[in-house]
Every structure is written in structure tokens, then in C-alpha cells.
Amino acid sequence: MDPNANRIDCVSYFGVPFSDFFTLQDNAGNPYPLTSKLAVANIRYGTPESPGLIALAVNEGTGMISRNTSTGVVTRALTAAAMSSLAVGDYWYELLITDGSGNVVDRPAFGFWTHTPTGVGMS
């Protein structure tokens, strides 16, 4: 199995809102069962191999991630204020699905996160 199969890298800009979504499905192609589960996609220092502290909490408690239990869609919506609080730099994230007690039950996506100064693009 390819360890990078679920890798989705992100680029964001200082002070600019960021949003995206993940459509999660089970092996049969049905919406992933998100009832009684929570979604977390914290932005972290370090690397997946050597995780660091959380640089920006992205969870349902902060209101920056939501899940639709009927469609299996998980949406991240980071505000301009949140993106201003994140220092320009390189980070990583992982999308985790947890049970009500915080135990990880699935890791559908991860990736590197580049947070650049406003107006600087990648080519």
C-alpha cells in the first residue's frame, strides 16, 4: 500500500481565509459513517514522522471544522483571524476521525501545509 495515497498538501496565505473539504466514503462507496464521531485536523509543527506541538487547533470545538453525517463530507473553514495567528512557515496536518472519547478510529488524510506571506504564490 502506498503510504502517500491519502496525502493532500495545502498552501495558505497569511491573513486570508482558507477552506476545503473531504468527501469520505467507506469501501463500498457509501458516505463514511460520521454519526457519534468527531473530526480533527490540527496544523502541527514537525513532520508526520516526528510530530511537534499543535500550531493551530482545527477541531469542532474551535468551529473551524464541521462534518455532515448524511453525506460524509468534512469541511475545514479557517478564518482570516486564525490564518493571521499562524506564523508563516512549513507545517503538517492530519485529518483524524475520533470517537466520542477522543480515540482515533480513522486517518483519512494528511499532508504538508505551507503558510506563505500574503501575495506570494507558488509556481
Question: pLDDT value at position 1?
Answer: 44
Residue 45 lies in a domain: yes
Average pLDDT value for residue range 110-118: 94
Cell numbers describing residue 97: 476521525
Counts of helices then strands in the chain (DSSP H, E): 1, 9
pLDDT category, 119, cuts 50, 70, 90? Answer: low
What's the domain count of the chain?
1
CATH number at residue 78: 2.60.40.10
Cα–Cα distance, 87 to 116 (Å, whole number)? 9
Residue 26 lies in a domain: yes
For the segment 13-65, what is each residue's pLDDT rounded down to a tens digit? 999 999 999 999 988 999 999 999 999 999 999 998 999 999 999 999 999 99
Question: pLDDT value at position 52?
Answer: 95
Residue 81 lies in a domain: yes
Residue 99 lies in a domain: yes
Question: pLDDT value at position 4?
Answer: 64
CB neighbours of residue 6 within 10 Å: 14
Residue 123 lies in a domain: no
What pTM value is reported for the model?
Answer: 0.89
Average pLDDT value for residue range 112-122: 80
Residue 87 lies in a domain: yes
